[in-house]
Each structure stands twice: as C-alpha cells, then as structure tokens.
Amino acid sequence: MFLSRMFGRKPAAETAEATVPTGAPTGAPVSGPVDVAAPLAGRLIDIGEVPDPVFAGRVLGDGIAIDPDGAVLHAPFDGRVTGLHEGRHAINLRAANGTEVLIHIGIDTVGLHGHGFHLHVAEGAQVGRGAPLVTFEPDVIRPKARSMVVLMIVTNGESWSLRDLREPGPVGIGEICCRLAPVDEATDASPLSASLPMTVPATRAPAETAIVRRIAEIRDPFGLHARPAGVVADHAKKSPVPITVSLGGRQADARSAVSLMVLGAHCGDLLTIEAQGQDGAAAVDAIVAFLGTPTAAGEDRPAAEEHQAAPVAVNASPLPFGEPVSLRGVTAAPGQAVGHTLRLVREDLAFAATAADPAAETAALEQALVATRARIAALIAELGDEGERGRHGGKQAEILGAHLSFLDDPFLKAAADRLIASGKSAPFAWKAAVDEQITALRGLGNRVLAERATDLEDIQRRVLLQLLGRTEERLRLGDRTVLIADDLLPSQFAELELDRVAGICLAASGPTSHVAILAASRGIPAVVAIGPDALRVQDGQAVIIDAGKADVWINPPSDSITSVERAITVRRARLAEARAAAGADCRTTDGVRIEVVANLGSLADAGRAMANGAEGCGLLRSEFLFLDRTEAPDEDEQYREYQAITTALEGRPTIIRTLDAGADKDVPYIHLPADENPALGLRGIRTSLWQPEILRTQVRAILRVEPFGTCRILLPMIATLADFRTVKTVIEAERIALGRETPIEVGVMVEVPSAALTAKRFAREVDFFSVGTNDLTQYALAMDRCNPRLAQQLDPFHPAVLRLIADAAEGAATHGRWIGVCGNLASYPIAAPLLIGLGVTELSAGPEAIPEIKAAVRKLIMPDCIAVAKAALDLDDGEAVRSLLATHWPEL
Ligand code: PEP
Ligand code: MG
C-alpha cells in the first residue's frame, strides 16, 4: 500500500510489491515527455561525482545517480524490460515514449556474477511504474563494489534527453526526479554530446528474430585496445545484421572501433557478442574466435607500467641553454644514445568554425576520408607483403591497419555529419567529433586505452591536413638527432629519417604506446612519460639517453659523453662480432658444450633462426597453426607445416610442442568449458587429454616428418606423472600404427612447480626436460602473466624460480637426462651463466637473441657459473640476483 501510494498508482492488490512486477503498464503509448520516479530512496547526486569516469563523463549518456538507502529497485516509469544483464546488476527499460534507459546498480558490480542480486522480472516483461525489478543485498555487494550508487542512464540520448532535473539531495522512493523529453524540446542540449552516443541503445530484435549470442573472454593482456577493436569492427562490417558488444551493462556497436574501445574492456573481461539474426552468426563466431586469441605478450611488448599517456601542457619557460639537467621517465625502447636535442612542435592547424554550404562540407569531408584511406593503404602496400615485412614493418602495418578502421568508423563520421548539418565547417566538425572520443578515452582511467588516443589524434590530423590541402613537411634532421616532443604520432614517426634519429624523449605517451612499439622495433632508444620539463629543453644541446634505466641527461659533462660513446661503439662492435660468429658451435671457455637453439612460431621464424646461427629448434609453438581460424588444422596440413620447418632447419633437431591451448592461449573452436581460474584449469596437456583426437592427429603429423628422429615431441603444462604416462601411451599407439620402428623422443616442459619438484621421478621415463620460465614464474609467484599490474614483479630471476630450475636440473641429471630452458629467461645474455650454473645445457631463445647468447656462453667458465648460481639461490629477490650477475659479468 505504501509503495503504491508513493508511486501514485492504484495497487493491483495490497501485496503490490510482490505481485505487480510484470503487470501491464498504465495508459496508452505516449510520444511526449515521461516523468521519471526515483526507483529507490536515497540521495540524488550529480552524475559527474560518480566514481567511474565512464558514467561521470556521460560516455554512455546523461542520467541520474542515487546513493541508495533501500535495497529494492523499482521501475521508474511504465515500460518494457528490453535487456537484463546476466550479472543481474543492470537492466534496460524502454519507456512508452521510446526513451531507453539503462539502470545500473553499483560500480564494478559485474564481477559479482549475479551474487547478491535477485530479479523480479524477465526480459520482455511490461512493467508498471513502481514495480519491483531487482532486490539486492548491500551487505554482499558493498565489500566487492567500488560504490553502491544506482545509475539511470538515457542510452538513446540522440533523441531523448533529461529535463527538469531535481536538485541533488535526499529523495524518497517514487518522487519525481526528472522528465524524459524529445531532444528538440530541450533548450540546452549540446549538438555534439547529443550526437555522439558512443554506446548504442540496447536495441533488441523483435521476438521472432533469432538472436545469436556468444560470450568471449578477452585474452589480449592489454584489453580491447585499438588494434583488436579495429579487427572486431572489420568482422562486424561484414555482417548483414547489426552486431553489438556489451560489457557490464554498456553496449557498443561492433562496427565502431572507437565505441568498442570506450567499453574499456580489460584482459579477462567477458564480452557478450550479439547479432540480430542468424545471418550474423559467422561474424559473431569470427569475433569470438579473434577475441580469444592472445597477442604475443611478453616477447615483444615493453613491460607495462602504471603511467598515463595524458598530453602534457607546455610550460613556456625554457631551461637555461647549456645547463646540465637530468630527467627521468619510463623505458619505452632500451639502449643508449648520444646526440643533440631537437624539439618537435606540432603546428596548430587553423580553419573557420562555420561554413555556409553543408553539402559542400560533407562532400569535402568524404573526399578527405577517401584520400586519407588511400594514403594509408599505399603506406601499408609500401611495407610489402607479410613475408617481406620483417618484424618492424609488420608492427607498422598493424598500426596503420588500425588507423584504417578508425577512418571507416561510422560513429565518427555520423557525428561530424551532424555538426556539419548544424552549420559547422568540415574541419571543425571532424576535429570536434574526434576530440570528443579522445577525451572519452583519456577519461577511462585505463593507461593502455589512453595511449590509444594518440592514434585517434593521428587520423584526426591526417584528415585535417587533407581538408586543408596541406601536407606534413618532412623534418630536416642532423646526424644523431634526439627528438624531444610532447608525444609522437605514428604517422610522424613514419615520416622521420630514422637513420638520423639517435633517440626519442617524450613528455607524455607510455611504454605500450604505438610509438614505443615502433621505436623498439627499429632499435631506437626511447624514454617516455618524462613530464613537462622535457618540453622546456632547448634545441641543439648535447644529450645522453640511457633508455634501459629511463634516464635522460641534458648537457652532461664531456667525459660522460665520451664514456657512453665508447660503450655504444663497444656494444655495436660486440654485436657485429657476435653475428659474425653466430654460425659456430658454442662452448664455454673451459669446453662445456651448450646448445643454443631457437623458439619458433612460424616457418618465417625458421629462416630468421638459421640466419642467426640457431643449432635447431628448442620450442616450436604449434599454436600458430591453430589460432585465427574456426577449426583445427587436419593431419595433412600439420604434417606439411612441420615438414617445411624441419626442412628449413636443414636436419637440425626440431622440438615440436603439442598444442598448448587454454588460459592465455585460447583456441575458441575447442569450446573449453568456462573455468573460474583458466590458468589453473584445462590448459596445455590437460586440454589435449580432454580432447584426445586433437592430440592423436597432431602426434601422427609429427611422426610422419622425415627424416624420422629429427623431430621430438614436447608436452606443455605437465603437472603429474599420470598425465605424462597417458600421453606417452597415445604417442606409442600412433607410432606403432604408423609403422615407425623406433620410439620418438618425448620431453616435458617444466612449467609447474610440481614437475620441477618431482623431476627425479619423471627423469626415469622422459627423454628430456625444457623449462618454460614464463609459466614457471607465473605459478611459482602466483602472479597472472596476463595481468599488466603485476608485470613489474613477475620476475623470472626471482630465487624461488631459480630454486625450482635447480631442483629440476638435479632431478634430470639423476637419470642422465638433459635439461634446457625455452622460456623468455633464456633470451637474456645475462641469464646464461646463471642457467648454465644451475645445470642447464640447452638455451632456446628468440631468433634475434641467438648471436648474443652464443657470444655470452663463449665467455663463461663453468666453476664461476656454478658458484654464482649457487649464491643466487640464497638472495632475497630478482633484483639482487641481477646485480650479482652484473658484478661478475659486467660485459654481458
Ligand atoms: C613458458 O611458459 O615459458 C613457455 C615457453 O611457454 P609459453 O610462453 O608459450 O607459455
Ligand atoms: Mg608456457
């Protein structure tokens, strides 16, 4: 009775709260304003104060926020339930006048997976104002949520807006707090904010349309950033029906890479991908398959650090010319450099804000977009096909590909068109449309996405230059230039005479920005996130960069310049010498033979490995054959690939790892069951045993490779002898069936502490061991290798990891088995004495690292390695181990 009175409606019965929920709404459909009642009691607060940048920044739309006193959420108006989030914390309602609202209970409540929320309604239900929708348990939710605030957001803000918003303060349940009215009635709507719904309304197909809905977990350690968003948008554009991607009550049109990024999805987040009909199933599957594929984390990305890529305001006062100044930032690409400073100041582009002829402006924008697209496509073509690109060209092509998808983004174009229609010039409209999204990305509080704002700035500038009929002037650089800038756009980087660039120092940006990736791929030392002082440095001053330590020294003493120059020369000469000697065998000074082999992930890698002197392949990550497709490769296809790689290695030993699917390497078509902790669930060999036919097919393909005996089989994620024995039985059965007379060598990866600790037991039955330090570190330190927040601490030099390697080596030796290391640790020259001292006799590294690893091994004496490795086991942490090594082998 009380509730019905508060909501001003006649109760259907005295027990209205329990029985009204799905009753028909009162009144006929309305096209005018609708009053919105407070869905619960509490305190109305300004939405800008909500502790979440997406809501506070109105990225999803305008709305109201209530800090709740109650625990039952009621319908704020008559309407239909158009969407229920599976986490039960968010609900979409459509009012009779067509307004769509998203009601969201609490911040960061998606992670509760519905725990503490009880629904009273089903999707599609008609509800009357005041009907209870959800009961929630504050005691369960509060400890896990960032805030309990309840938000009501208008998601089709392009047509409907909030009017007569009540002042912040206490509000009773059912009291009117605002009205929802058509936008053209609103007096103060900004054309831009009204025109840019970066998330689409929760549109639902009519009941008779079969919705295709899948869940995908993001595997990219850096979340749904620009490049994956671009790929998803490309898939969605191929679908004949609309596809939406939702996360935590937010929804994006999958055709829009920008709106996908604004979802702010992180590694491990579950996205719901939906197509409005069966015709979209193929595209949805392609998206799900793609999202489940990790990027090559760890090997080619700089370590993540918590640094924002926000642009830095220029402080006009220059630092005195000639005065020594030291600056510190974050390593983006390691290495040392000496040179002279040159500041790169991006010229502001001037244009009129308004224009008289909207049709001409729209045509001009379209033409500029076409021309920019053609220019980028030409740049990609100049980089050659995939085979020719090599490492750095590949990165650049990927980044340019992401830029192409921004240019095709329907939301950016639609937003600019609307501004043009309201009398703005094409340059103004395009700039404003892109600026809005740059602000949204920077406001998400996500470092990686904030860095992607630079990519938007890049296409913004390219299109503006086209519109203004201008071309970016090519900078004339002196030899050994150290560029100083606020940030560097990828397109600016592409235009530089790179052989004259000694180093890069940026006030803003971050270690995972595209410019950081490009600099690292070109071997140009770069320090980023230095802060505003970088921009006060004058041109033409001497500078030293020690990017590995993130140090920049302006006007250093001349003897420092001399000593760094000497160090650079020595290092270059050493590298050249190492490359020249890369083909030779490798022994320590006292004659102990160490095999240096390569980690491969493709046939192209095999070529690089040979060029760098690899003595074989210590780890072929066979996942390369299984990712980015919709079904597993058959036996023949696998056989052809393995044979081609073995042939390319000219008879050198080739260790093929069986499929390592699961956790950080998702192969969607295997349909692994959703595990609470994928890294501790079905992965590696456990997945193969769960789907033995995939294992059998792969084993047969490997057994067919000629000459027999060149290939060995390596099993990932072995934790128990029982698992090993089961797989060994499968391998033996296939060998006998194929008529191979002698057994193939089978080894296990030491990636799990149990395998290291019981290596002695394994050693009786396995042929060899290979330590996967990437996973061994993850499991020894209980730190998720996908979690960028832990990247700095995920240290393979940690004595706990080293002790496990020592145990494994000792166990292997008991039965005369050899042990190698194929994790990233083997790619660091400084780790060579440590691993060899622990008893490792094979180092499997990235192809490019091989010459330096071989050179390092040739400098070592076994007794020194053993003594230092033993001492390292007793140190406190990885840092202490590294300094011990640096003291003994400063030249490595
Ligand atoms: C490892 O874990 O160290 C390893 C080599 O395997 P991956 O990195 O492919 O998991
Ligand atoms: Mg591994």
Per the confidence metrics, is the pTM higher than 0.75?
A: no
**pLDDT for 26:** 41
Indicate whether 474 pLDDT > 60: yes
Amino acid making up residue 299: E
- Count CB neighbours of 709 within 10 A: 14
Locate the ligand 1 atom nearest the alpha carbon of residue 599 and give its number. Answer: 5
Give me the chain's average pLDDT, please: 83
Indicate if the pLDDT at residue 21 is higher than 50: no
- Per-residue pLDDT at 285: 87
Residue 1: which pLDDT band, with cuts at 50, 70 and 90? very low
Residue 212 contacts residue 274 (beta carbons within 8 Å): yes
pLDDT at 352 exceeding the cut of 60:
yes
pLDDT of residue 4: 33
Identify the pLDDT of residue 13.
31
pLDDT tier, 791 (very low <50, low <70, confident <90, very high otherwise): low
Q: Which two tokens stand for residue 451?
A: 């860095």
In the predicted model, is pLDDT for residue 614 greater than 80?
yes
Is 7's pLDDT higher than 70?
Answer: no
The model's pLDDT over 763-772, given as tens digits with 9 standing for 90+, comes to 999 999 999 9
- Tell me the sheet residues that pair with 719: none
How far away, in angstroms, is 771 Cα from ligand 2 center?
Answer: 9
User: pLDDT tens digit string along 804-831?
Assistant: 999 999 999 999 999 999 998 998 899 9
| CA 444 – CA 310 distance, rounded (Å) | 11
Q: Cα 247 vs. chain centroid, distance in angstroms?
A: 16
Reported as a pLDDT band with limits 50, 70 and 90, residue 25 is very low
CB contact at 8 A, 109 and 142: no
Establish whether residue 775 lines the binding site of ligand 1, counting it when its CB lies within 6 angstroms of any ligand atom. yes
Structure token pair of residue 479:
């030899």
What would the mean pLDDT of 278-295 be, rounded to a whole number? Answer: 78
Nearest residue CA, atom 3 of ligand 1? 772
Other beta carbons within 10 Å of 458: 27
Please answer whether residues 92 and 101 qualify as being in contact, where contact means their C-beta atoms are separated by less than 8 angstroms: yes
Confidence check: pLDDT of 168 > 50: yes
Q: Is the pLDDT of residue 799 over 80?
A: yes
Residue 714 and residue 655 in contact, taking contact as beta carbons nearer than 8 Å: yes
180-194, 375-389, 420-434, 496-510, range with the lowest pLDDT: 180-194
Ligand 1: residue of 624, 751, 771 to mutate (most ligand atoms within 8 A of CB) is 751
pLDDT greater at residue 16 or residue 405 = 405
Does the structure show a pLDDT above 90 at 329?
Answer: no
Higher pLDDT pick, 33 / 512: 33
Whether the CB of 822 sits within 6 Å of ligand 1: yes
Three-state SS sequence of 637-682: HHHHHHHHHHHHCCCCCEEEECCCCECCECCHHHCCCCCCCHHHCC
Ligand 1 atom, smallest distance to 823 CA: 3
pLDDT over 60 (residue 215): yes
At residue 185, the pLDDT reads 57
Choose the most confident range, by mean pLDDT, from 262-266, 436-440, 520-524. Answer: 436-440
What is the structure's pLDDT at 222?
A: 66
Percent of the chain with pLDDT over 70: 84
H/E element holding 244? strand 243-247
What average pLDDT does range 53-66 have in this prediction? 74
Mean of pLDDT values over 186-202: 36
Q: Please compute the mean of the pLDDT values over residues 839-859 and round it to a whole number.
A: 94
Highest mean pLDDT: which of 109-113, 593-597, 666-670? 593-597
Give the pLDDT confidence score for residue 30 in this predicted structure.
55
Q: Give residue 399's pLDDT.
A: 76
Chain-centroid distance, C-alpha 373: 25
Q: Helix (H, G, I), strand (E, B), or coil: what is residue 451?
A: helix
578 alpha carbon, distance to own chain's centre: 34
Q: How far apart are CA 783 and CA 807, in angstroms?
A: 21
Contacts for 404 with CB less than 8 Å, ≥ 6 apart: 230, 373, 376, 377, 380
Q: What is the mean pLDDT of residues 418-441?
A: 91
More confident residue, 644 or 209: 644
Answer for the pair 881, 825: CB distance below 8 angstroms, yes or no: no
Cα–Cα distance list, 49 to 57, 64, 149, 533 (Å): 9, 11, 10, 32
Q: What is the pLDDT of residue 132?
A: 83
| Alpha carbons 493 and 394: distance in angstroms, whole number | 15
Q: Report which residue type is found at 631.
A: E
pLDDT in tens, 627-647: 767 789 999 999 999 999 999
CA distance 472 to 454: 17
Q: Is the pLDDT of residue 757 over 80?
A: yes
**Could you tell me the pLDDT band of residue 199, with boundaries at 50, 70 and 90?**
very low
HEC states along 800-856? HHHHHHHHHHHHHHHCCCEEEECCHHHHCHHHHHHHHHHCCCEEEECHHHHHHHHHH
pLDDT computed for residue 473 by the predictor: 64
pLDDT of 472 = 64
User: Ligand 1 centroid vs 774 CA: distance in angstroms?
Assistant: 5
Q: Is 827 in the pocket of ligand 1 (CB under 6 A)?
A: no
Q: Is the CB of 823 under 6 A from ligand 1?
A: yes
Judged against a pLDDT cut of 90, whether residue 793 lies above it is answered with: no
Cα–Cα distance measured from residue 102 to residue 250, given in angstroms and rounded to the nearest whole number: 8
Q: Could you tell me the sign of the dihedral formed by the alpha carbons of 41, 63, 5, 127, in that order?
A: negative
Lowest average pLDDT, out of 110-114, 118-122, 422-426, 492-496, goes to 110-114
Angle at 722 between CA 718 and CA 728, to 5 degrees: 80
Ligand 1 centroid to Cα of residue 775, in Å, is 6
pLDDT at residue 296 above 80? no
Q: b/e string for 409-421 if b means 16 or more Cβ within 10 A?
A: bebbbbbbbbbbe
Q: What is the mean pLDDT of residues 202-220?
A: 61
288 pLDDT above the threshold of 90: no
Burial pattern 677-704, b for ≥16 Cβ within 10 A else e, equals ebbeebbbbbbbeebeebbbbbbbbbbb
Distance CA(429)–CA(432), nearest Å, equals: 5
301 C-alpha vs ligand 1 centroid, how far in Å? Answer: 15
- Return d(Cα 221, Cα 265) in angstroms, integer: 11
pLDDT of residue 306: 35
Q: Is the CB of 773 under 6 A from ligand 1?
A: yes
Q: According to the per-residue pLDDT averaged within each range, which of 59-73, 113-127, 229-243, 688-702 is highest?
A: 688-702
pLDDT category of residue 390 using cuts at 50, 70 and 90: very low
Residue 657 CA: which ligand is closest?
Answer: 1
- Cα of 651 vs centre of ligand 2, distance in Å, is 26
Reported confidence tier of residue 521, pLDDT bands at 50, 70, 90: low
CA 216 to ligand 1 center in whole angstroms: 23
pLDDT band at residue 377 using 50, 70 and 90 as cut-offs: confident
Q: Is 203 in the pocket of ligand 1 (CB under 6 A)?
A: no
Pocket test for ligand 1, best of 293, 626, 660, 776 (most atoms within 8 A of CB): 660
- Is it the case that residue 140 has pLDDT exceeding 70? yes
State how far the Cα of 131 lies from the Cα of 133, in Å rounded to an integer.
6
Measured between alpha carbons, how far is residue 689 from residues 21, 684, 685, 692 in Å? 49, 9, 6, 5
CA-716 nearest atom, ligand 1: 6
Residue 623 Cβ < 6 Å to ligand 1: no
* 401 burial level (CB within 10 Å; 0-12, 13-18, 19+): middle
| pLDDT band at 282; cut points 50, 70, 90 | confident
pLDDT attached to residue 305 = 32
Average pLDDT value for residue range 660-679: 81
Residues 6+ apart with CB under 8 A from 350: none
Q: Write out the catalytic residue numbers.
A: 514, 822
Q: How confident is the model at residue 751 (pLDDT cuts 50, 70, 90)?
A: very high
Question: What number is the average pLDDT over the span 687-710?
Answer: 96
Ligand 1 lined by 751 (C-beta under 6 Å): yes
Question: In this structure, which ligand is nearest to the CA of 820?
Answer: 1
Q: Enter the DSSP assignment of 743.
A: P
